[in-house]
Amino acid sequence: MQIRHLSVCIAATCLTFSLWAQEKSINDTLHHAVVSDSYKRSLLKRNATASELLEKDFLDRHLSGNIVQALENIPGVQSMDIGSSFSKPMIRGQGFSRIAVAENGVKQEGQQWGADHGLEIDSYNISSIEVLKGPASLLYGSDAMGGVIEIHKPEFPSKKGIYGEAVLTGKSVNGSLGTSLMLGYSSDKWMVQGRYTELHFGDLHVPTDTVVYMTVLVPLEGRKMKNTAGYERDASVFASYRNGGYKATLSVSNAYQKSGFFPGAHGIPDASRLHDDGSSYNIELPYSWVDHVKISSGHQYTWDSNILTADLGYQYNHREEWSAFHTHYPGQDMPSTDPDKELAFMLHTGSGTLRLRHFHSAILEESIGVSAQCQWNAAGGYSFLMPDYRRQTAGAFWLATWKPTPRMSVTGGLRYDWGHIDIKSHIDNNLGDYLIQQGYSAEEAAKYKVVSTATNRHFGDFSASAGIVWNPAGEHLFKLNIGRSFHLPGANELAINGVHHGTFRHEQGDPGLDSEHGWQFDALADLKWGRIELEFSPFFSRYSNYIFLDPTGKWSPLPHSGQIYRYTGTAARFWGGEVELHVSIWKNLKYNFSGDYVNTFNETSRTALSFSPPPTMRNILAWEGERWGAEAELQSIATQKRIAHNEDITPGATLLHLGGHMSFRKTGIELSIAIRNLLNTKYYNHLSFYRKVEIPEPGRNLSITLRKTF
């Protein structure tokens, strides 16, 4: 279902520019989703856990990479990068399937289990985002054990009629050029808007001449990572209807991404594949593509003291990785069709949530609800990894909020979830024969030729939460929350047994794993004194069973695989916190400081857990005028020495970033300019997909965005 023709977008953009000349009278009808401080504070009071709200203007000005990298400006949120254009989020050191990303009321479902899989969401099709830092299993189920990133539904514009937006953007670090066009119409009862986004990027430039893969020094000609080019095409339609107490929404979207793999970090090292071919935008083998289709429908009915909401969704995530057919052992025949298709994942997901909110009085509110999800995944390709499986989950929850005084609210709730997963077996007899030829026993060969273990498991567990929000006087705000949450193990953690080239290791599941569960405590203090605001949010979590990849110390018998890493349950602790300081120095001049720290501890190995983010600080000096603004940011990343057995120490770095924006109100045009890593500093992201092969983060990157609204 990918959209193939860039000419359609260019023609539509030209048409829009001609419309601007005729529609200057409705120049300001676009609802820009600017959220007032009072509204932001009311959202802050709504949850007992730490939360952040980002409006559209913040996202527009910080979208120098992708939406996850923009969220990294929030203390406690980290970006696990995959090249220059795709990332996945982490919150307080937790990521993958422990973080729920919800759009239009439906959780995004893709290949969250892999570090080499990004988030398939149009970064330009977002009006506002709320980030919950901490357990949110009560409303979102077990996949929200570490937090939630909720993308809000578009609201009705403040004015009726035609409205729209066109965006042009470019980035220097990879020659990126993109455009996004949105057109909409609204009346008293109806709102319909559509968006199309297309982004092309070339090979990534990095500040180094060589990288290391499997102990082999790999040269980078012209400091360019060959075959890391790609493109993204997104299309969506959103419609909303309201009439009295009834409101309905319908969203249909398709996100398509294709990008090359750096040949120096895929397969067997071969410097001959890295010679410059004269083009920075061609995509050769190996490469990957993903096509994500999502249909969601929301309904809300309000009567008397009740609000009934229903959200339904269907998603189809189709991902493939292509690489010239190769075998790591003899006896594997080339497939007769699509011989270069290395991996394929086809994931279908249907989901639904029903929730009833009842207001007993002005001081007491109760919510009850149920949710269910059904998934089925089909796998393919000559390098088998993720198995075929079916997964069903269902849950029921109760939540209550009591407000004994206008300045205090107490919340509490319970939830129970049930889950079932049925994983199919896959056996590679050629691999078994090869191992016997290499001198391994029949017993060992039988164990390792089972690439996927047949598993049929049922799970059931509960989550609970109790919290208090207190606004004692003035603008001061305090929060305290304690909860129990859990996470159901995934198909990879239960069944896989083979080389995961995306993470450069042999990964082995355990069919006997139990669900993760633990207790979490977090607090928040938000204090205001005139021009100064200080916010501090500590947290502590302990899990009696936390699933992680344990380096067994045993060498894998599979070729080109290294050590075996086995999914294992252990007792683990997380603690840390975030701090923010905002000072209004003089009129429009402001100083902002933020910092975060996460400490993870594996109680079995007495080491940190893998993918533990390093402490980070940001010092920002900003000028915000009526029509223009500018800021300078000094970002300090500490050396990460607290590492798991399978990780390397990552050195720290100090980076300088500059940014500015200017609006031309009479034309409805806004210009944003950002320079990331101004000094072209060589540094590493401890969470990056490419960290293990010593590929640094991008160097100096100039990004320019031109936005026109009408």
Contacts of 500 (CB under 8 A, 6+ apart): 114, 385, 506, 507
**Entry pTM:** 0.89
E strands present in 324-363: 341-359
Give residue 15's pLDDT: 35
Question: Distance (Å, rounded) from C-alpha 60 to C-alpha 629?
Answer: 13
Question: Distance (Å, rounded) from C-alpha 182 to C-alpha 675?
Answer: 26
Give me the torsion for CA of 688, 689, 694, 700, rounded to 10°. Answer: -50
Give residue 504's pLDDT: 67
Question: Distance (Å, rounded) from C-alpha 612 to C-alpha 591?
Answer: 29
Question: Distance (Å, rounded) from C-alpha 291 to C-alpha 330?
Answer: 33
Question: Distance (Å, rounded) from C-alpha 52 to C-alpha 40?
Answer: 8
Q: Which of 92, 100, 99 is nearest to 76 (CA)?
A: 92
Give residue 214's pLDDT: 62
Residue 481 host element (H or E): strand 477-487
> 146 in helix, strand or coil?
coil
Residue 37 host element (H or E): helix 37-46
> 156 in helix, strand or coil?
coil
Question: 692: which 2 tokens?
Answer: 């293990």
The owner of tokens 């500059």 is 658
Give residue 65's pLDDT: 66
Give residue 290's pLDDT: 94
Question: 302: which 2 tokens?
Answer: 């309000």
Contacts of 64 (CB under 8 A, 6+ apart): 70, 171, 674, 676, 701, 703
Contact 484, 467 (CB under 8 A): no
Question: Distance (Å, rounded) from C-alpha 414 to C-alpha 394?
Answer: 14
Taking the chain (710 residues) in runs of 10, the rounded mean pLDDT of each run is 40 36 35 43 68 83 78 90 78 90 90 76 90 84 89 90 95 94 96 96 90 75 89 96 96 95 69 77 91 97 96 96 81 84 93 96 95 94 86 96 94 95 92 90 91 94 94 89 92 89 80 94 94 95 92 82 87 97 94 97 93 96 92 97 88 96 88 94 89 86 93
Q: Which residues pair with 351 in a beta bridge?
A: 313, 373
Q: Which of 22, 29, 58, 5 is nearest to 165 (CA)?
A: 29
Question: Distance (Å, rounded) from C-alpha 673 to C-alpha 203?
Answer: 22
Q: Which domains does the chain have, with CATH numbers?
A: 6-392+400-436+452-464+476-482+503-709 (2.40.170.20)
